[in-house]
Structure 1
Amino acid sequence: MRRFRNDGLAVLLGAISALALPPSHLVFVLLLTVPMLLRLVGRARNWKVALRYGFVFGMGLHTAGLYWLTDAVLVRADEFWWLVPLAAPLGAVPLACFTALPCAFARLVPEGWRRVVLFAAVWTLSDLGRQFVLSGFPWNLWGSIWEFPGLAGDVMIQPAAWISIHGLTLFTLLLAATPVLGRRGMLAGLAMLLVWVAAGSARLIWPPAVGAPGPWVVLVQGNVPETDKQNQDAALGIYRRYVALTQSGVADAAARQKQAEAHGAAARPIVFAWPESAFPGLLERDRTAREVLMQAAPDAAVGLIGSVRYGSDQRPRNSLIAVMPDARVGAVFDKAHLVPFGEYQPPFLPVQIVPGGGFEAGPGVRSLNLPGLAPIGPLICYEVIFPGQVVQASDRPAWLLNITNDAWYGNTSGPRQHLAAARMRAVEEGLPLARAANTGISGAFDGQGRPLARLGWGIAGSLVVALPGPLPPTVFARFGLPIPLLLCLLCVLVALAPSVRRLHRTITISK
């Protein structure tokens, strides 16, 4: 009974911890749940029991944090009704394996500051690992808990420009675990928090020099339900809706540009963007549709449209297509990070569950260089959640564009957490970011992650944003994931060093 009681407590602690994630941002709950998890680990008979506690904690955390996956199944509940109660738990299983590791490793050192440091470091290393294993899914990262709205959130996320969201996760865990260290530990945590706030404030008060202003970006949000997107009879109506919203949005941007020029401002190009798979057909092959669209937006320098396309191998791609004013296709970008089980068939599965094997992956992240425009960094859907993997280093863009279709996940925390991930990439890279989402939330951030504009969930409209210029490459943009990796390895070394020295002395004496 004690075993089941402790497992139940670990699951509950994990589920409560999910309240710290966006959009709830109940950060203080981690001051309860993380210390209690460490207590369970300390009371475990051996490392295997500690491993189990970490796994069930992860099941609670990620099942609660991924509850919105159920909405995607409900869209096709007539076919996958049996998966409704299983979607979130099944998504949590692989992620829970990563939360089990830090609990097992924590048993390598005695209770105290060394256990806290080792636990935080291995947890963060596990998060780094799950960015790459099985296509990668770095969701529910605890560094994101600081992305609450307003100035306070802007301050707390600034250090990501140096250490990324993974570095924020490391320090979040160190802070959350301080109650187990007594008064001195709490004071050390308070000092760390004050340094964090000072560093974030300094970056906001004395920002780096900003580059040349970006374009006017018109983000078109059609608010098309996923059931309509799958209905071929609704295709023409969807196209007309997007064209009408584009026409009004581009006209609004042109009027603002004229007003700005009247006050001495320089001319900016106008770019409009449709969300992921917004075009209900094959835009690359439909010149008539491209002509009608660009005639409706004569002031636009380019349209960036989400559409399926087929390559020379006759395999489908989830793509962004750049349409020029003369209706020709100026460039294409194919999504490289595909969603397993949704967009492609994992090769290790013996049973075919994705029709036709799904989409073909693109070659990877790259910048689009189009006439009259600074380089653009396109990211389709959840490609934006991968820290350090969103920018082509050899051809750094002036701004990032994330197009997505979050209609699958309803009015839940899923789209809001996706938006938070996009905001963090803007801070890490020092680049403004615009986001066009089918049902919301569309918006834009500057290179410090401060909101510029926002169009809420479930609204059809077009959002006009004058993007600022890029900031110089941040420390993280220059050196990437080795920064949080080295931070974690340093913490591991500090935590294990006394044990290694004692082992060395023991071997020396025995000789």
Structure 2
Amino acid sequence: MKALCFLLRRGGWRSAIFMLVLGGLAALALPPLCLVPVLPLVLGIFYQAVCAAPNHRSAALWGFLFGMGYYTAGLYWLTNAILTRVHEFWWVVPFASPGVALLIAPLIMVPAVLCRLVPAGWPRVLMFAGSWTLADMARVFYFSGFPWNPLGSALEVPGWLGDWLIQPASLIGVDGLTLMLVLASLALWQGRRAVLAVGVCAALWCGWGAWRAEHKAVLPGHINPVAVIVQGNVTENEVLERDSAVSQFRSYLELTSQGVRQAQHLLPGRPVVVIWPESAFPGLLDEEEGARQMIADAAAGAPVLLGSDRRAGGVGRWYNSLMALASDGHIEAIYDKSRLVPFGEYDPWIIPFHLLPAEVVPGPGLQTWNLPQIGRVGPMVCYEIVFSGSVVAPGARPDWLLTISNDAWYGNSAGPRQHLATGRLRAVEEGLPVVFANNRGVSAIYDARGREMGRTEWGRAQVLIRPLPGPEAVTPFAMIGRWIPCLMSVLLVGVALTRWRRARADT
């Protein structure tokens, strides 16, 4: 550690590269790898480096460079989206993930600087953990919001261990998981007693999580339908070019017929709902009555929920919509996506020119549908599932949540898996089952405890059939939302400042 401090005090390009690499290593803890043991080492070194920096300016620089490494590595898959249209946007390829990282990396400067304002030891640790979480939560205010990859998602380890680790999200949300993970990582550097305390807390955490994950608490009287998720495996180039639109449509119809027959055979008497992902229909569904009738015939009386564009008025203006088709093919409900992807669906104000050929218009906000054979469902499109505490329409709690997406943009990378992981956490936070339907994969169903009920593979045309589990009682986080982790973080910052004031008064 002394050698590290000497290197960083000297500054220069070697120190800068070290901090970039250190931040990149922190991204190994994110889904799908979830190498959680990396965090105590990486965050511990970063914290020591910030404390040893000769001045606040150097500490801020280390925080920025760490953030650049962390977000560039964690979002490397954004480059794949540019490659789908590389002939038009070849010049953007080197700037895709570093460009986004450049916008959000300054947030890690906040804990790097603020922690130096209080005395070393526990006050500084508390200030670092609290201010890190508050700064990370502020990402929802960037453009339309970009809260992708909060550090708390590192606890989404695959399998039963991850099921145990994420259960406290029902109390404190993913931002609360971030706070506790940063605090525990730094506490492991504070001596033997702190290590013992972290071990005891981790055991209690896992014990309660194991009990909750296995304890059945589904509300009585709720019988959700059988979901038939149709994954057509259409590449993004095929979606954009539309050359094989007819064959794509026929493939979805055939998979739908097969899936409905299997569902009715396996679970006779249960209502069935067919789900197509975003970009599944290669046209404007609300304007094509014949196509709607063909979909209804393939579903054999089952309602169909699917994505389609629709005109929003004006040239090049569209809604990205999720529609509900009744058994006779008429549209029962339409939900227009309200949270749009910056740089992907609209041009942020910082761009002085038009990057996108068309503009997606945001819808009015979250809804809850109550439809025959489907029940009370909260529809979302793609990016909207990422927003912790903002996935349920106020005052209209559904029985299950649905997200349709098209992650073919990002290829067989960490991107689709990170997106899917957000659905797992939303299920725990809200106490609601989550259905995630994706064009190329990965599609999955989670129960209200975040346990996986089934999934598809990436890059395969297949159908996933599962009876949807029921909802559970409203969780504390669902009632209060992000105020819980926010107040926890403010409390830690307040304790740190109180200790600082007392230290100054004593001197």
Matched, 1:377 2:378: yes
Alpha-carbon distance, 1:221 to partner: 0.4
Cα distance in 2 between the residues matched to 1:459 and 1:182: 50
Gaps of 5+ in 1: 259-266, 507-511
Verify: 1:294 aligned to 2:290, yes or no: no
Match of 1:57 in 2: 66
Deviations 1:470-497 (A, max 9, x none): 0011110011111111111111111111
The residue number in structure 2 matching 1:261 is: none
438-447 or 84-93: which moved more?
Answer: 84-93
**Shift of the alpha carbon at 1:257?**
2.1
Report SS of the residue matched to 2:57.
helix
Give distance in 2, aligned partners of 1:209 and 1:330: 28
Please tell me whether residue 221 in structure 1 is matched to residue 221 in structure 2: no
User: Who is 2:3 aligned against?
Assistant: none
Question: Paired residue for 2:457?
Answer: 456
Is the contact between residue 405 and residue 437 of structure 1 (CA under 8 Å) also seen in structure 2?
yes
Secondary structure of the 2:21 match is helix
Among candidates 309, 325, 328, match of residue 326 of structure 1 = 328
Off by >3 Å, runs of 4+ in structure 1: 311-315, 501-506
Following the alignment from structure 1 to structure 2, what is the Cα–Cα distance between the partners of residues 236 and 127? 44
Deviation at 1:104, TM superposition (A): 0.8
Tell me which residue corresponds to 1:150: 159
Q: Deviations over 1:96-145 (max 9, x none)?
A: 11111111111111221111111111111111100222211111211111
After superposition, residues 414-433 of structure 1 pair within 5 angstroms as 414-433=415-434
- Report SS of the residue matched to 2:444: strand
What letter is aligned with 1:327?
A: G
Match of 1:264 in 2: none
1:433-444 correspondence runs (5 A) = 433-444=434-445
| Structure 1 partner of 2:281 | 279
- Mapped partners of 1:371, 1:241: distance in 2: 27
Query: Are 1:166 and 2:175 counterparts?
Result: yes
Preserved contact between residue 432 and residue 470 of structure 1 (Cα < 8 Å): yes
1:366 aligns to what SS in structure 2? coil
Distance 1:308 1:251 in 2: 28
SS for the counterpart of 2:87 is: helix
Letter in 2 for 1:339: V
Q: Which amino acid aligns with 2:321?
A: S
Deviation readout 1:243-281 (Å, 9 max, x if unpaired): 1111111111111222xxxxxxxx431111111121100
**SS in structure 2 of the partner of residue 478 of structure 1:** helix
Corresponding position: 1:80 with 2:61 = no
Alpha-carbon distance in structure 1 between the residues aligned to 2:454 and 2:319: 30
Give the structure 1 partner of residue 11 of structure 2. 3
Structure 1 range deviating more: 231-240 or 59-68: 231-240
1:461 counterpart letter in structure 2: Q
Q: Which residue does the alignment assign to 2:264?
A: 254
What residue number does 2:4 align with? none
Which residue in the other structure is 1:305 paired with? Answer: 306
Report the count of equivalent residues: 496
Q: Secondary structure at the match of 1:332?
A: strand
Deviations 1:366-402 (CA, angstroms, capped at 9, x unpaired): 1112134321111111111110000113111100111
CA contact (8 A) 2:272 2:373 kept: no
1:487 is matched with 488
Q: Which residue of 1 aligns with 2:52?
A: 43
Select 2:270's aligned residue among 265, 268, 271.
268
- For 1:449 and 1:106, locate their aligned partners in 2 and report how far apart those are by CA, in whole Å: 35
Q: How far off is 1:429 after superposition?
A: 0.4
Q: How far, CA to CA, are the matches of 1:413 and 1:348 in structure 2?
A: 28
In structure 2, list runs of 5 or more residues that go unmatched.
Answer: 1-6
Contact in 2 for aligned 1:323/1:330 (Cα 8 Å): yes
Aligned counterparts of 2:16 and 2:313: Cα–Cα separation in 1: 53
| Contact 1:434 1:445 survives alignment (8 Å) | yes
Q: Give, as a single letter, the amino acid of the residue that structure 2 aligns with 1:273.
A: I
Partner SS state of residue 464, structure 1: strand
- Matches of 1:17 and 1:408 in 2, distance apart? 25
CA contact (8 A) 2:123 2:500 kept: no
Asked whether 1:412 is paired with 2:433, we answer no
Which amino acid is the alignment partner of residue 357 of structure 2? Answer: P
Question: What RMSD, in angstroms, separates the aligned Cα atoms of the two structures?
Answer: 1.5
| Alignment partner of 1:447 is 2:448 | yes
Amino acid corresponding to residue 206 of structure 2 in structure 1: V
Choose the corresponding residue for 2:142, options 115, 121, 133.
133
Q: Is the 8 A contact 2:407 2:439 kept in 1?
A: yes
Between the aligned partners of 1:111 and 1:14, the Cα distance in structure 2 is 23
Give the TM-score taking structure 2 as reference length: 0.95
Give the deviation of 1:313 after TM superposition. Answer: 6.1
Q: Contact between 2:273 and 2:374, CA under 8 Å: does it hold in 1? A: no
Q: 1:89 aligns with which of 98, 102, 115?
A: 98
Correspondence for 1:263: none
Q: Partners of 1:247 and 1:493 in 2: how far apart?
A: 60
Percent identity between the aligned chains?
A: 46
Q: 1:74 is aligned with what amino acid? A: L
Shift of the alpha carbon at 1:348? 4.1
